């Protein structure tokens, strides 16, 4: 029995491409009389095929994951799927929005519109990823911060295990999701606390506020504390370090902002650098603390904050030291912030 047309087409494409690459390499190495321009042309051809197959190797897992998601959605409710130029549109009853994947022409979109009482909605890739990440966290203590945990989480919410192809950076994607989620939860907590204090005309001491905020953020790690050293090691890798620094700086910025800091001079950088440094050293101490309720960690945190306050006071009293510290902080933070794309205005 002959294989399907698609299989034969792909097989022919691969065979022909391999033959072309082989002939090009042979001509490059054995035709020594070719000109410089001919050599450059041959090299460009080889580079083209190498890049072409590299792109295929990168995109195939991602495409396979999305195809599986589409097939799974179709198998669950085949009457609610409409195919449009190679993409699919999921129909959902009793919803108020209509979203189509990829780019359907305006005429086709008009054809698939439902009455106002029967609109449709589709899950975006971000929503699917967040759902899988959330389901994967309970498996972290078993599988670590890895693709295995993501696969287990995907299967727990009804997606095939191959969906991990949507996460090319594997465990780093899961760590970043957890880190950013904890940052958002802490920011919301601090916002509600400051709004409540403002309504009651009460203001907490900034030093106490910072200590409580860092403690609250570190306590979010406790459920995954046995595996947290692995998370730190993953985020310390060169490809992940920029994301790790960005998350840390955003955390420090939120803590300083809600503690009452509204500075617009160079102290803006110094305060956030200090809070970020205190958080990281306390986090490392936190990993090896065996005291009841981690009391030694919170004492360590308070001592580091007191040291930072004393250092700030000493620097502010010395004009030359103050100027030098401001200049160094300004240059350092401006460079790091621009490199990480954090040059925003709050």
Pick the closest to residue 333 from 282, 285, 263, 283 (CA basis). Answer: 263
Q: Which of 39-48, 249-258, 306-315 has the lowest mean pLDDT?
A: 39-48
> Is 10 or 44 the better-scoring residue by pLDDT?
44
Question: pLDDT tens digits, residue range 118-133?
Answer: 333 445 778 888 999 9
pLDDT at 311: 76
| Alpha-carbon torsion angle 44, 46, 48, 51, nearest 10 | -130
- The top-scoring range by mean pLDDT among 127-136, 239-248, 292-301 is 292-301
pLDDT band at residue 331, thresholds of 50, 70 and 90? low
pLDDT at 112: 40
Burial of 327: CB neighbours in 10 Å, binned 0-12, 13-18, 19+: exposed
Give me 98's structure tokens.
Answer: 């209509």
- 87-90 vs 81-84, strand pairing mode: antiparallel
Could you give the percent of the chain with pLDDT greater than 70?
A: 55
pLDDT at 120: 35
CA–CA distance, 165 with 74 (Å, rounded to integer): 20
């Amino acid at each position: 029995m002959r294989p399907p047309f698609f299989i034969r087409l792909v097989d022919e494409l691969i065979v022909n491409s391999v033959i072309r690459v082989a002939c090009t390499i042979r001509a490059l190495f054995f035709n020594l009389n070719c000109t410089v321009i001919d050599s450059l042309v041959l090299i460009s051809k080889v580079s083209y095929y190498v890049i072409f197959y590299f792109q295929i190797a990168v995109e195939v897992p991602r495409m396979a994951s999305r195809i599986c998601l589409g097939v799974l959605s179709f198998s669950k409710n085949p009457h609610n799927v409409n195919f449009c130029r190679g993409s699919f549109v999921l129909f959902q009853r009793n919803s108020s929005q209509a979203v189509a994947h990829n780019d359907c022409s305006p005429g086709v979109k008009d054809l698939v519109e439902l009455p106002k009482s029967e609109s449709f909605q589709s899950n975006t890739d971000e929503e699917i990823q967040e759902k899988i990440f959330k389901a994967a966290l309970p498996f972290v203590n078993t599988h670590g911060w890895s693709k295995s945990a993501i696969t287990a989480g995907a299967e727990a919410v009804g997606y095939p295990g191959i969906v991990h192809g949507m996460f090319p950076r594997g465990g780093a994607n899961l760590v970043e999701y957890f880190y950013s989620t904890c940052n958002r939860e802490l920011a919301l907590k601090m916002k509600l606390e400051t709004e409540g204090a403002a309504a009651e005309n009460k203001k907490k001491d900034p030093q106490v506020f910072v200590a409580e905020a860092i403690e609250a953020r570190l306590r979010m790690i406790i459920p995954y504390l046995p595996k947290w050293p692995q998370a730190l090691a993953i985020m310390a890798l060169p490809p992940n370090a920029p994301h790790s620094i960005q998350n840390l700086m955003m955390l420090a910025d939120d803590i300083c902002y809600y503690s009452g800091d509204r500075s617009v001079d160079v102290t803006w950088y110094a305060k956030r650098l200090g809070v970020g440094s205190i958080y990281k050293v306390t986090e490392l101490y936190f990993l090896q603390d065996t005291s009841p309720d981690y009391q030694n960690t919170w004492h360590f945190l308070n001592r580091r904050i007191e040291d930072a306050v004393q250092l700030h006071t000493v620097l502010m009293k010395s004009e030359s030291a103050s100027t030098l510290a401001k200049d160094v902080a300004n240059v350092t933070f401006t460079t790091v912030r621009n490199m990480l794309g954090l040059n925003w205005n709050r």
